[in-house]
Amino acid sequence: MIGILKKVFDVNQRQIKRMQKTVEQIDALESSIKPLTDEQLKGKTLEFKERLTKGETVDDLLPEAFAVVREAATRVLGMRPYGVQLMGGIALHEGNISEMKTGEGKTLTSTLPVYLNALTGKGVHVVTVNEYLAQRDASEMGQLHEFLGLTVGINLNSMSREEKQEAYAADITYSTNNELGFDYLRDNMVLYREQCVQRPLHFAIIDEVDSILVDEARTPLIISGQAQKSTELYMFANAFVRTLENEKEYSFDVKTKNVMLTEDGITKAEKAFHIENLFDLKHVALLHHINQALRAHVVMHLDTDYVVQEGEIVIVDQFTGRLMKGRRYSEGLHQAIEAKEGVEIQNESMTLATITFQNYFRMYEKLSGMTGTAKTEEEEFRSIYNMNVIVIPTNKDIIRDDRADLIFKSMEGKFNAVVEDIVNRHKQGQPILVGTVAIETSELISKMLTRKGVRHNILNAKNHAREADIIAEAGMKGAVTIATNMAGRGTDIKLGDDIKNVGLAVIGTERHESRRIDNQLRGRAGRQGDPGVTQFYLSMEDELMRRFGSDNMKAMMDRLGMDDSQPIESKMVSRAVESAQKRVEGNNYDARKQLLQYDDVLRQQREVIYKQRQEVMDSENLRSIIEGMMKSTVERAVALHTQEEIEEDWNIKGLVDYLNTNLLQEGDIKEEELRRLAPEEMSEPIITKLIERYNDKEKLLPEEQMREFEKVVVFRVVDTKWTEHIDAMDHLREGIHLRAYGQIDPLREYQMEGFAMFESMIASIEEEISRYIMKAEIEQNLERQEVVQGEAVHPSSDGEEAKKKPVVKGDQVGRNDLCKCGSGKKYKNCCGIGK
């Protein structure tokens, strides 16, 4: 183990030594850059751009460009980047992750590679976890870039399309990860090129990269529409589940968080719903609703997993403790929780477009990131994103005192000790940050401190609005701040001058399942060489301890006669905790890797569809593409009706009926014409006739209108079919894991069936486009229309109210539109008669 660590450390040291040489080159240029006037310094930007056009690369320009930014930062911001910040900038420029500790100036570091890469004119995206940070960084660092002659844009959720286009057209764009992903999805749902907002994805620097690419990796971005379903079944399932007894009628596994009905529970359900067999195919929906109601009651907890706010269920982010307004649990779980809490049950949603952060950010030409904690996830960053983690040395040595964990027998004993420690430190005026894992823990400690007369602030999902103010006060003398996980990430806790020699005390009330989150909490103390102390308090009743076998340890404490107030400091327990955390991290990494393998199936399909949509949008003439679709449709129809070996068994009448109904006019092709031909010869006369009919259609309209009509049809069909396909893939994914019981690899099955479904969708698209082109009355059908109304389901990790944006129009059938039944008639002359 020591050998491996030494090897890793040596690799990092070699990188640091290499970058140190570049830093020395930058330092050497200072004497020639410093005397320049402001105008001459700005002029360097134009000079660099010209040199790029003449064949130099951004790598060639790096030392000079970094020297220019350092001098500009000194003049504009009053901050001169240290040597270690230059190293961090080099690592970012090379497409790696700079691990820089809290307070080391990551924001200033980012300006160096941002400026250098923005010189190409292809656009640089600086990505933050919330809009407050995006606005702050764009405002503060934007001054520096604008001084050097570059344009800076900020991309916010509330902006209009025109404002977004302007933001993306800038040399440098500040945005949240959510907004970038949603803009990408929206751009692939528009009908006209001028409605797109993003440029091709060139270079991105992600702040708090571990939060976005690891913690949020399993969260798909979804644009969804409403699926109309009855809410009654949720009410019935909820009422039934309330009557169940734990262990007798359902079982719950704490480690896997799996809950299911027992035999007694199944019998009770069959009696309650007056059915013979709950597992009959006709009762699939009922069983699904009962299972989700069980999960809502047993697995999901109020004020831990979600809160009730203004009559709505709002999810709590398990990593940041922030409210995620606008995000909903899928597969009916959200509705089950709404039934449980007695709030209005909203309709389930249908996915119109979706992508994960993993697949979105892998589309950039170059990707890099910054964080204080990434080394524990290095393997994941390297294997999934092809980024190495470079640990950048601190500007000043860390003198923080990280104390060994104190372990108590019970939660009560632990919390009493935590409060006692807070009271003692508070009396001495030391500022204290208390880290909790759940909202209810922060509120419990708050009540205990109130009883002791200790004034304090709570920083959790419920009062996100005051976050910046609370963080600003957290380093003052006597301040006590209780924070859920790392709410307030991205903002430094600066110490008051009167307690600089004491430092911040960080008290952890529980170990998180990820070492990285614990390290983030520790990292709040001891920034920039300040003193500080960190102490974690654990109990045998903590979730992490319960999940990974604390029973033996608890029994040992009982045998030793230890009471609740006696802690133990045991290296064995600390090692066991770390081992448990590593196991959880390993499980979570495997889950994210598996998600990526499944998501890659949809990614490949999405890329095909989106590429074809772009081609359709940019194409002047779709005639040849549509003729190809017609040819494929005819060949499939011929093959389907002539698949029997004996000629007498061929269904030629059925083939002619199909052609007359969907593609040709009555009498265009006769049975006797086809009976004389072999199957491979039948397609030619049919396609010849189709082309004739296509030419006749063309004569009815001016060229420009005919070309637009083709686009109208293609967009409407492709978007409808693709939406239905995403939904079908969702359903396939939900049940695919059951194949493992038959000794079949679920992933391989998902890949094969997903491919078959995609092929089937393409065939269906080609057939429907062919039918619409040949059968539709086209005079009035010349406006491109979105096929269904959708809104972005925001996984808003910044906890701000996510404004639900309509991204497409409603699926209303106009009276003069083509009827959806496929007859080829206008709606008013078909299914819309009398409406």
Residue 589 counted as domain residue: no
In a domain, residue 10? The reply is yes
pLDDT at 285 over 80: no
Shared domain check, 663 and 703: yes
Query: What pLDDT sits at residue 273?
Result: 92
Predicted pLDDT at 294: 94
Burial class (CB in 10 A: 0-12, 13-18, 19+), 17: exposed
Measured CA to CA, the distance from residue 504 to residue 534 in angstroms comes to 8
Question: Given 583, 612, 627, which residue is the final one in a domain?
Answer: 583
Q: For residue 6, what are the domain limits?
A: 2-222+358-391
Summarize the confidence of residues 347-354 as an average pLDDT: 76
How many CB atoms sit inside 10 A of residue 119's CB? 20
5-14, 132-141, 669-678: range with highest mean pLDDT: 132-141
pLDDT tens per residue, range 537-548: 998 888 887 776
Same structural domain, 435 and 560: yes
Flag whether pLDDT at 641 surpasses 60. yes
pLDDT category at 811 given cuts 50, 70, 90 is: very low
- The alpha carbon of 489 is separated from its chain's Cα centroid by a whole number of angstroms, namely 18
- Residue 835, marked binder: no
Q: What is the CATH number of the domain that holds 525?
A: 3.40.50.300
The answer to whether residues 186 and 109 belong to one domain is yes
Query: Is the domain of 620 the same as that of 735?
Result: yes
The CATH number linked to 310 is 3.90.1440.10
Query: Comparing C-alpha atoms, which of 53, 67, 164 is closest to residue 119?
Result: 53
Residue 16 scores a pLDDT above 80:
yes
Query: Domain boundary at 583, 609, 640, which?
Result: 583
Q: What is the pLDDT of residue 803?
A: 31
Q: How confident is the model at residue 514 (pLDDT cuts 50, 70, 90)?
A: confident
Q: What pLDDT does 631 receive?
A: 94
Say what the pLDDT of residue 561 is: 61
Residue 705 forms part of a structural domain: yes
Q: Could you tell me if 34 and 109 lie in one domain?
A: yes
Q: How many CA atoms lie within 13 A of 228 on its CB side?
A: 1
pLDDT score recorded for residue 71: 96
Residue 571 placed within a domain: yes
Same structural domain, 770 and 658: yes
Number of domains in the chain: 4
pLDDT recorded at residue 795:
47
Residue 342: count of CB within 10 angstroms of its CB: 10
Closest by CA to 794, choosing from 316, 220, 331, 189, is: 220
Average pLDDT of every residue of the chain: 84
| 105 known member of a binding site | yes
Question: Using CA atoms, how far apart are residues 47 and 44, in angstroms rounded to an integer?
Answer: 5
Q: Identify the CATH number of the domain in which residue 683 sits.
A: 1.10.3060.10
User: 750-779: per-residue pLDDT in tens?
Assistant: 999 899 999 999 998 998 899 888 877 655
Same domain as 510, residue 416: yes
**What band does 489 get if pLDDT is binned at 50, 70 and 90?**
low
Residue 791, SS3 per DSSP? strand
Decide if 468 is inside a domain. Answer: yes
Would the pLDDT of 272 be above 70? yes
* 41-100 confidence digits (pLDDT tens): 999 999 999 999 999 999 999 999 999 999 999 999 999 999 999 999 999 999 999 999
User: Is residue 180 within 8 Å of residue 127, measured between CB atoms?
Assistant: yes
Lowest-pLDDT choice from 108-112, 497-501, 622-626, 715-719: 497-501
pTM of the entire predicted model: 0.75
Q: Does residue 142 have a known ligand-binding role?
A: no
Q: Average the pLDDT over each of 10-24, 129-143, 456-470 and give the range with the smallest value.
A: 456-470
Residue 1 has pLDDT above 50, yes or no: no
State whether 373 and 494 are in the same domain: no
Q: What is the pLDDT of residue 524?
A: 84
Is 17 inside any structural domain?
yes
Q: Determine, yes or no, domain membership for 722.
A: yes
**For residue 762, what pLDDT is reported?**
95
Instruction: Give 784's pLDDT tier (boundaries 50, 70, 90).
Output: low
- Asked if the structure places residue 114 within a domain, the reply is yes
For residue 712, give Cα distances in angstroms to 613, 781, 785, 787, 819. 12, 8, 7, 11, 14
Residue-level pLDDT at 822: 42
Q: What is the mean pLDDT of residues 564-592?
A: 80
Considering the domain architecture, whether residues 571 and 613 belong to the same structural domain is answered as no
541 shares its domain with 435: yes
Tell me the pLDDT tens digit for each residue of 582-625: 888 888 888 888 888 999 999 999 999 999 999 999 998 999 99
Query: Sorting pLDDT into bands at 50, 70 and 90, what band is 38?
Result: very high
Among 64-68, 219-223, 256-260, 481-485, where is mean pLDDT lowest?
Answer: 256-260
pLDDT band at 349 (very low <50, low <70, confident <90, very high): low
Cα distances (Å, whole numbers) of residue 136 to 154, 490, 491, 536: 10, 11, 10, 32
CB 16 within 8 A of CB 88: no
**Is the domain of 290 the same as that of 370?**
no
Are 576 and 609 members of one domain?
no
Q: How high is the pLDDT of residue 357?
A: 92
In percent, how much of the chain has pLDDT > 70? 85
pLDDT value of position 820: 42
103 is in an annotated binding site: yes
Under the banding of pLDDT at 50, 70 and 90, the label for residue 229 is low
For residue 6, the model assigns a pLDDT of 53
pLDDT band at 799 (very low <50, low <70, confident <90, very high): very low
User: Which of 163-177, 262-276, 352-366, 818-832 bottoms out in mean pLDDT, i.e. has the lowest?
Assistant: 818-832
145/15 Cα distance (integer angstroms): 28
pLDDT of residue 414: 93
- Determine if residue 375 is labeled as part of a ligand binding site: no
- What's residue 546's pLDDT? 77
The listed range with the strongest mean pLDDT (114-128, 249-263, 760-774) is: 114-128
